[in-house]
Structure 1
Amino acid sequence: MKFEKMKNKRRFIILLSTVTVLGLMSFGMVYGKGSVSNQKKNEVFGNMENLTEINMELDKVNMEQEEKVEKEYSKALERALELLSIPEGYTLKDVQSQKQNKADVWVFRYEKASGQNNGLNGEHYSFVVDKNNNKILGFTWMDEKFSTGELPSKEETKAIAKAFLDKVEPGMFAKLKNLWIDKHDEVIAVKDEKYNESVNLTISGMKYKCYLAEQDNYAWVIVGPGGNVITFEQGIIWNNGRVTEKWLHDSWLKNK
């Protein structure tokens, strides 16, 4: 449950520290053959001890920063989990602070705890929450199990979309103008155990796309096999193409 930037910073610090320690050890080994005094060797190993203390302090600072960030997003996460159900076997892998339509948002990403099909283009359950009011701006559930199975009819899709919106955004359904209901596909990459290679799978659902006139933006619900809602997005600005950031879409993230 860390920011990616924080992870990268910590990796850099650890790498830098490791290189420094190895350099000091090599220095100590070379001079330990008798070319310098014991006093010099003690200075070398004393520096190593100081470096260890510095690393411990950096770890402490990083942990404090992570705890601060976790406290900041905890309310948004708690609210989201009141409305969304995390699939069994998924665990929180990443939290990011981002911008969507110029507003501050949290982006939460869950992946399989087993490590199976983790990472971009793999299986995940992700959602975006507005920092200001903890509103869920969207979520998606990309799982290989949705690559098969019968899709709901248009009438069933509408009914499921209404039930979902009544739960997460009460009153919204009545304000929406439905534009169309049709099949929508996404692609994820999963490991083929038989051939030990990555293969693409198509995740299909019935998309209930709508226009919200009072805000001049778009919203939709996608219902997959078994009547499972696999995607929801709202507040999407469209102007000769999508303008709103696509934090839930790995194909967009990969090229960002």
Structure 2
Amino acid sequence: MMPMLPEDEQVRGGVYLCQTGQCVSCGSCCGLYNVRGLSREGLRAVLDERTRAFASVPRTIDAILAFEQERLTLEGCDYPIPDFHHCVFVGLIRDGGERVGCLLHPLADGNAGVDWRGLSFYGGAACKLFFCPTYDRLEARWKRLVRRVIDDWFAYGLIIPEHRLLAALLGAVEARLGRELDPDALSPDGRAALAELLRVKLDWPLRGPDTPLAWNFFSTRRTERPGLDAVQPGDPLLQALCELDTLPEHAVPALARLDELLNRTVSALSRK
């Protein structure tokens, strides 16, 4: 059984989603994934380099701002989503595991309790005042379930903001099971199957070729897809295909693929 986190009682929706384990955290709101050629290995290498470089930066305003300009010069600013910021102060937290986090946070190594987040693009109040739409718009049990089954920061940060996709997939699973999912009563097989299902966001082979993997963050972009009329509006499979940015010409085989994945998940969850 996964214990409740102390932060659960302090956030809207009652389920804390930002930093949930030694290897699990989300940096999507900082534009973590808004880079070209996105891969876990490539992104981790950049984060590791930043973390190492920042460790030797004097903790002064001028030195920290100089670090930012240096990183922007080294990494470039050609973002797939140009109107969404990518913060170069996102690095790696290593405290028994490894996950993404803010290098300017007062608890980060080298900061001696001083909060430098006011020097970032979003300012120091962002972490206290901003919560992504998933906090409010996804059922609490589904939030706890994602927190339970995804055990890697790269996958977690790409999956947890997608509240509509999560609702479509998990709602379809519950409809086929005929019961609600209990995050604290998952078998190992059930947990693995759910993790595979949710990773469809990362692994979907029929996505439009020019669509960034994190294209739908904050749900500010339209997800209607002309040609996806193989099922009636409101069907969770259709909604999931829209969220996955499936090409219209791939709608029918994509529906079959997604249906098979859902059935496999339900089968695993049904086994004793």
More strand by share: 1
- TM-score normalised to structure 1 length: 0.28
More helix by share: 2
* Higher relative contact order, structure no. (Cα contacts within 8 Å, ≥ 6 residues apart): 2
